[in-house]
């Protein structure tokens, strides 16, 4: 299947700083990528849909000014958590669709101190 | 009623057992059905993808879709300890009121295969 990578896999930062997470589709082009958040022992929660060359579509309750998404090319989308706070600590996972199948990255564990 | 229902388990079976995992759904517009396996602290890994009603087999895994009953299943034959993970069903299609094609997940079933 198609491969989606994420970087970094783990990040620890101080409260108030910004963190950028990269998501790449390695062997296919993705006009649409998705960003999810997952809390322990819970299912994935869609945060936003990232469209190449246009603004992201955010789910209800997700602050677009806090979670900045940039889909600059067909193989790269970035999520920036601005002014991170401890409550933003979570597992962030990106995903991309190839045809009718959707593939996920390995996830990024963010810990905000 | 949630759009996708999945028994969260946990489910514990002995090595070699046949495992049956199931999901039901309510949105008849769902067209594409997937099963993912997620190990702890990892991203979901796509195991099976099906489009139409019927069976699809891949090694020890068989996916079934019954659109008339809005019911999907994943069977694991000769289960191994390495199969221990959370299994998520997921599906997408046209959502009522729009066509945003968002993937909708079940809650996931935690499976443990004991040696």
* Per-residue model confidence as pLDDT tens digits over B71-85: 999 999 999 999 999
Q: Supply the pLDDT for residue B99.
A: 46
Q: Supply the pLDDT for residue B9.
A: 85
| Highest mean pLDDT pick, A26-30, A39-43, B98-102 | A26-30
The span from the CA of B98 to the CA of A82, in Å, is: 31
Cβ–Cβ contact B45 with A under 8 A = yes
The span from the CA of B17 to the CA of B104, in Å, is: 29
Spell A24-51 as b/e; 16+ CB within 10 A means b.
bbeebebebbbbbbbeeeebbbbbbbbb
CB contact under 8 A, B44 and A106: no
| More confident call, A34 vs A52 | A34
Nearest by CB to B107, from A34, A43, A105: name it. A43
Cβ–Cβ contact A40 with B under 8 A = no
Radius of gyration of chain B (CA): 14
**β partners of residue A7:** A22
Residue A78 to chain B, least CA–CA distance (Å) = 17
Going from the C-alpha of B90 to that of each of A103, B6, B37, B82, the distances in angstroms are 12, 10, 11, 22
Q: Supply the pLDDT for residue A19.
A: 97
Q: What is the pLDDT of residues A44-103, one digit of tens each?
A: 999 999 888 888 999 999 999 999 999 888 999 999 999 999 999 999 999 998 888 899
Terminal-residue alpha carbon distance, chain A: 36
Burial, A94: exposed, middle or buried (Cβ in 10 Å; 0-12, 13-18, 19+)?
buried
- pLDDT band with cut points at 50, 70 and 90 for residue B3: confident
Q: Supply the pLDDT for residue A52.
A: 84
Residue B37 to chain A, least CA–CA distance (Å) = 11
- Evaluate if residue B1 carries a pLDDT over 70: no
Q: Supply the pLDDT for residue A72.
A: 84
The span from the CA of A42 to the CA of B105, in Å, is: 11
CB contact under 8 A, B88 and A43: yes
Q: Supply the pLDDT for residue A99.
A: 83
Instruction: Please count the other Cβ atoms lying within 10 Å of the Cβ belonging to residue B66.
Output: 12
Nearest by CB to A109, from B34, B41, B46: name it. B41
Q: State the average pLDDT over residues A11-18.
A: 97
Q: Supply the pLDDT for residue B94.
A: 64
> What is the 8-class DSSP label of residue B53?
S
Q: State the average pLDDT over residues B15-30.
A: 94
Q: Supply the pLDDT for residue A26.
A: 94
Going from the C-alpha of A81 to that of each of A11, A73, A106, B30, B31, the distances in angstroms are 12, 20, 18, 32, 33
């Amino acid at each position: 299947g198609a491969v989606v990578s994420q970087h970094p896999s783990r990040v620890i930062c101080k409260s108030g700083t910004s963190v950028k997470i990269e998501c790449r589709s390695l062997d296919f082009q993705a006009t649409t990528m998705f960003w999810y958040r997952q809390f322990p022992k819970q299912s994935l929660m869609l945060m936003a849909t990232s469209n190449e060359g246009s603004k992201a579509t955010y789910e209800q309750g997700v602050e677009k000014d806090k979670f900045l998404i940039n889909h600059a090319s067909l193989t790269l989308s970035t999520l920036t958590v601005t002014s991170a706070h401890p409550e933003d600590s979570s597992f962030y996972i990106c995903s991309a669709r190839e045809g009718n199948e959707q593939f996920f990255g390995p996830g990024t564990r963010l810990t905000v101190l | 009623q949630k759009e996708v229902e999945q028994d969260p388990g946990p489910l514990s079976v002995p090595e070699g057992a046949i495992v049956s995992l199931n999901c039901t759904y309510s949105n008849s517009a769902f067209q594409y059905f997937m099963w993912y396996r997620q190990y702890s602290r990892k991203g979901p890994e796509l195991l099976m993808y099906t489009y139409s009603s019927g069976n699809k087999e891949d090694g020890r895994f068989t996916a079934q879709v019954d659109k008339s009953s809005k019911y999907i299943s994943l069977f694991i034959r000769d289960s191994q300890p390495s199969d221990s993970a959370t299994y998520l069903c997921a599906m997408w299609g046209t959502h009522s009121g729009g066509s945003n094609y968002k993937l909708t997940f079940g809650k996931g079933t935690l499976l443990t295969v004991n040696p």
